[in-house]
Chains A and B, each alone.
Chain A
Amino acid sequence: MFKSLFRKDIVLCVALGANANNADEWAKYAEKQMRGDRSRAKIEMSIQTPNWKRTLEIESDVEGKKLALSTINSPAKEKGIRTLRIENNMWNYFPKLKRKVAVSSSMLLASWMGSDFTNDDILKASSMAEDYEHKFLENKKLNGTEYRVIENSARTDAKVMWPKIVTYASIQDCLPRQYHYFDKQGTLKRILFLDQIKTFDGHKMPTQWVMQPQDDLNKKTQINYTDIDFDVKFPGNHFSQKNLTDF
């Protein structure tokens, strides 16, 4: 059984080739595809319950693992609010009041604009490939589809929010379809569902992300990537205090 599955991986997950049986390579591949070296993404986020829905439009610029700048383009109340991350430092800027606020690291944990995503998710502050150790678990079938299952355990020196994340990756394209986030007590707290794979500038990535908190199944937050540019070139001072406040 295992042997046949292993063979199936090599045949179908062409992108990883001979590395298809190395869990680290799966994590690196997913990050390279979905994150790239730098990107500018236009995102629509909707926070939903059965009774209401709230939608935000965001522009998100990311370079490497240390620099990120996000800008809210709608709704009117939050329009123009920007968040800059340089390494472990983070600032929010409120242009209507010309107020820049240094944000504590603990705010990475905070819900981003009332959504089920955190600041950490939006600013891509942690790296699955670098901040976690990876090992394969037994493959699992979910809704009739078989997935490669990878357990990601936080490295002891990594400053990350989630001590354990389990990835369910497609055997066909090696890209994750679900991330299961566990807290220190080992309780499953939320699941991120990834779907609608599209190719942008040679990068395959899921364009529909749905975060489902496990303590409230009536609520979810959906992100749709409406556009993403992996070939973007940012000016030298793009991720700077000056650019943060230049809005």
Chain B
Amino acid sequence: MKNYFLLMLLIPLSSWAQVKGEISGNVEAQTRHTWNNEAAQDDLAQDWEEENFHLFYGNLNGKLQFKGSRLESNVFARHSQSNLYQDPKNPAVSEYIAPMIFTFPQKLVARDVFKLQHTEEGSDYRSELILNKLFYEWDYEEHRFMIGRMYINYGQGEIFNPINPFNQPTGLTAISQVAQGNDGFNFEFFVNDKYTVDFYFLGDKSLEGYDGQIDRTMWIHGEYQASDELQLDYVVGEDQRRHKLGGQVRYNFSKAQVFAQALYQTDFVDDKESHPLWDTLLGYDQQVTNKWHVRLESGYQKKNRFLLTPSFGERFLPTEYFVALANQFEVHPLVKLTGTIVNDVKTGFTYFITRNTVDLGHNMEFEIFGYIPAAKGSDIENPAQKLVTTDVGAALRAFF
């Protein structure tokens, strides 16, 4: 597989004469002050009260455009510093959870065959360098073929997007301009103006580790524009040892857009003990005035009882039933205010997120953010919600 990969990367070298190159990217410095939940200190061994957390990250995108094909890459670098990190050489001390939440998505490659990353950890820092995109894409008439590490990005959900297991939605996170890579092949067929089908063949070592076997993903995503108002998506395939089947319906009203998703996952296809999982999403999106945008997402994700720590997978917020209402106001062409309230219907846990951005000009942006639990959830139903901290912070980002 490695040889094929290298061969496909070398193909474009034959057409150097028509090559066009482009470099772009962004860098961001972020700092936050965080207060721990008292219940997490008492019940979950998170014995700290308040701390600072500093984060620096950036993307470097490269693109080489050839006649009818292209090569794209992205290097993601992240350095975070805080007393919440603990000495990795001291196995007696268990890691605090909060830094994992602050750096979500922690995993920058969703399905990986190759490691292509370097990590360094110290008693108060963690540094990562990850090649999370490197693919060669070839266009031929109404078809497109891609090989390498690629982003797979579809589905209307911004907070929860169950039909796409290959890219975590970042609608609630403090990190922007981030997507997850996936190793493998993609064939895209533009059947006609209204119908597109993607076939993905991916490899994954996240279940077994790099010394274990490669798990296969065979996945089909179809997108059909049934009418001016109605779009239908379907997904079907095998991924992480489960058969999965799902779809999305999107209806475009004159004043708003409504969408629904469902994904059903069978037991593991091997004999390993498991149970079926299913996720649903219902969403509403409206531009109320030319300055005010509203989005409502509500969903359900079945808890996986067979994980070592029963959880909801790699979600930003641990909720089973949730309703999220996001409002964005443009108070000035340079100032955007965003407020999102998320409620776990079952436990009562409620969380408020605000992100307020000022365009500073010269390709720079400043942001003030706050993550504030507004109501505690039931201790019994979902103890993981105690891990959610109260944070205020600021970020400065630049684009080039």
Give me the interface of A with B, judged by CB distance under 8 Å: 47, 49, 52, 54, 75-77, 79-80, 86-89, 96-111, 114-115, 118, 159, 219, 237, 240-242, 246
Contacts and interface: CB of A to CB of B under 8 A. Distances in A.
Contact of B334 (A88, A102, A114): A114
Contact of A102 (B252, B254, B291, B363): B252
Interface residues of B, number: 47
A36 to B, nearest CB: 23
A47 B139 CA distance: 37
A110 B139 CA distance: 34
Contact of B361 (A52, A100, A106): A52
Interface string B252-263: 111111000000
Interface stretch (B30-38, B151-159, B314-322, B343-351): B151-159
Interface centre among B193, B229, B287, B400 (most CB of A within 10 A): B287
A224 B345 CA distance: 51
B359 interface: yes
B228 A87 contact: yes
B250 interface: yes
A105 B225 CA distance: 15
Interface string B377-395: 0000000000000000000
B153 A98 contact: yes
Contacts of B293: 110
Contact of A109 (B229, B231, B285, B290): B290
B330 A106 contact: no
A220 B361 CA distance: 17
A76 B399 contact: yes
B286 A106 contact: yes
A96 B61 contact: yes
Contacts of A54: 333-334, 359, 361
A54 B358 CA distance: 13
A241 B196 contact: yes
16 contacts: A52-B334, A54-B359, A77-B399, A86-B193, A88-B229, A96-B61, A96-B177, A99-B179, A100-B153, A102-B156, A106-B255, A159-B254, A219-B333, A240-B190, A242-B142, A242-B190
A104 B142 contact: no
A97 B399 contact: no
Contacts of A219: 333
Contacts of B228: 87-89
Contacts of B190: 237, 240-242
B78 interface: no
Contact of B291 (A88, A104, A108, A111): A111
Contacts of A242: 142, 144, 190, 196
Nearest to A159: B254
Nearest to A106: B287
A110 B287 contact: yes
Contacts of B255: 104-106
B365 interface: yes
Nearest to A74: B363
Nearest to B291: A111
Contacts of B61: 96
A75 B253 contact: no
B24 interface: yes
B3 interface: no
Nearest to A117: B290
Contacts of A108: 287
B18 interface: no
A237 B139 contact: no
Nearest to A119: B287
B84 to A, nearest CB: 29
Interface string B214-232: 0000000000010011010
Contacts of A87: 228
A105 B293 CA distance: 13
Nearest to B257: A104
B253 A47 contact: no
Given A114-B359, A241-B193, 6 more contacts: A75-B399, A87-B228, A104-B252, A109-B290, A111-B290, A114-B330
A238 to B, nearest CB: 12
A236 to B, nearest CB: 10
A80 B72 CA distance: 14
Nearest to B135: A98
Contacts of B150: 98
B14 interface: no
Contact of B253 (A49, A79, A99, A104): A104
B309 interface: no
Pairs of residues from A and B, 9 with the lowest C-beta to C-beta distance, nearest first: A104-B257, A114-B333, A77-B399, A76-B399, A98-B151, A106-B287, A99-B153, A242-B190, A97-B179
